[in-house]
Amino acid sequence: MKDPMAESPSETPLPVVLAGARGHGRRHLANIRRLQHLRVVKLVGICDTAPLTTDELDAFAGEPPEQSADFGALLDSTGARAAIICTPIQTHTGLALTAAARGVHLLLEKPPAATWADYVRTAEAVSAAGIACQVGFQSFGSHAVPAIKSLVRSGAIGEVTGVGAAGAWIRDDAYFRRAPWAGRRRLDGSDVVDGVLTNPLAHAVATALELAGRGRADDVVTMETELFRAHDIEADDTSCVRVTTEGGLQVTAAVTLCAERAGEPYVIVHGERGRVVLWYKQDRVLVQRAGHGPEETVYGRTDLLENLVDHLARSAPLLVPLERVGAFMRVVEAVRTAPEPAALPARAWETREDGADGGVRRTVHGIDDLVTAGAETLSLFSELGAPWARADEVITP
């Protein structure tokens, strides 16, 4: 991608509206600030339920953006050409359709929709409007992803036998109280699907499918899900999914928010003569193969908003177009339609008072090893002998 610093100062920055500027939206706000300094974008509007304060907008002093709780009206009044949607999951589709109706390009946070039907509606509206829609899987911007694909195509690890993903994170009770929709499957009659596989560790699932070369909806043949919860929530916090794809390749993700020790999530591409491990938040890759010593490399990363600008200005390929995450949305739909997550028995977990700011959290006994084993062997929790696990029926999308 072209270095933004090399752009002509006279080039007009892309006018952008941010919907959802608090929570995770603060990261988008900081990134917009960075790119505005480089004259790549210009923040012209913020849509939130409550306006940001002067202190929150201090970095934009001198020309503060327009603010409104009415997304459509804000797009109209500002003349925005692109919008970032970083709002509760159940609002993504409505806002995306509003933007598409006005021909406004999108950076749409993950998951792009709460249901398969809404994903299809969004895709149809994007296509009909002729706009670009980038999905917020930042890991797809890692230069490690094409490097791993190239290595695999070269035959360096032999034929790929499967792809596993592991994520062991710690989230305390306060995490599930941060917003009314947090940890919910439904809210006020709308699907939310805020489970560990579909939101906090969605990158593990989507990146595994991407590295398997099975990211599109038609690549999925069957799915098996095992959904559990240790916390007193509606959605799942400790789960696994196994996707069997065209050609029989299996992609398995085992994840938890109830880890004993927090670890970096990763994806393993298993081959007949070796394997490749990607710690996707760090852009760090370890290659282990027959006849060679281990090789570790840290790669750079392309920002998704920069890529969207580059796509609009110079026809650069979008890194995460909607169709590229169709298989992930099949997983979201499988989780949404699966039986309610099973509450783990009290003997399976313990309470600890070492969460963020001393908060209370629940830790599942032995879950760190189970998550690792799931990625290593492409097995479900029930197959690994977890005493609290059961095998769910196979779901055919």
pLDDT in tens, 28-38: 999 999 999 99
Average pLDDT for the chain: 94
Is it the case that residue 61 has pLDDT exceeding 70?
no
CATH number at residue 68: 3.40.50.720
Is the same domain home to 113 and 159? no
In the listed set 84, 116, 138, which residue is the last one of a domain according to the structure? 138
Is the same domain home to 203 and 103? no
At residue 6, the pLDDT reads 40
Tally of CB atoms within 10 A around 264: 13
Domain region containing 104: 4-138
Task: Look at residue 395 and tell me if it is in a domain.
Answer: no
Is it the case that residue 7 has pLDDT exceeding 60?
no
Tell me if residue 141 falls in helix, strand or coil.
helix
In the listed set 123, 138, 153, which residue is the last one of a domain according to the structure? 138
Task: Look at residue 306 and tell me if it is in a domain.
Answer: no
At residue 393, the pLDDT reads 42
CA dihedral for 96, 167, 140, 162, sign (positive or negative):
negative
At residue 390, the pLDDT reads 64
In the listed set 138, 163, 188, which residue is the last one of a domain according to the structure? 138
Is the same domain home to 93 and 127? yes
At residue 392, the pLDDT reads 45
CATH number at residue 265: 3.30.360.10
Is the same domain home to 82 and 113? yes
Is it the case that residue 394 has pLDDT exceeding 70?
no
Is the same domain home to 96 and 202? no
> By mean pLDDT, which of 104-118, 150-164, 323-337, 356-370 is the weakest?
356-370
Percent of the chain with pLDDT over 90: 90
Is the same domain home to 38 and 154? no
CB contact burial 100-139 (16+ within 10 A = b; e otherwise)? bebebbbbbbbbbbbbbebbbbbbebbeebebbbbbbbbb
CA distance 220 to 251: 10
By residue count, the chain amounts to: 397
Confidence of residue 261 (pLDDT cuts 50, 70, 90): very high
* Residue 154 backbone dihedrals phi, psi, to 5 degrees: -70, -10
At residue 10, the pLDDT reads 42
- Contact of 13 with 305, CB cutoff 8 Å: no
At residue 333, the pLDDT reads 98
Task: Look at residue 316 and tell me if it is in a domain.
Answer: no
Task: Look at residue 343 and tell me if it is in a domain.
Answer: yes
- Rounded average pLDDT over 178-207: 97
CA dihedral for 310, 312, 315, 318, sign (positive or negative):
positive
Is the same domain home to 211 and 271? yes
- Contact of 71 with 47, CB cutoff 8 Å: yes
Is the same domain home to 376 and 235? yes
At residue 1, the pLDDT reads 38
Is the same domain home to 368 and 242? yes
Is it the case that residue 3 has pLDDT exceeding 50?
no
| Model confidence pLDDT, tens digit, residues 283-300 | 999 999 989 999 999 999
CA distance 161 to 154: 15
CA distance 239 to 216: 22
Is the same domain home to 192 and 265? yes
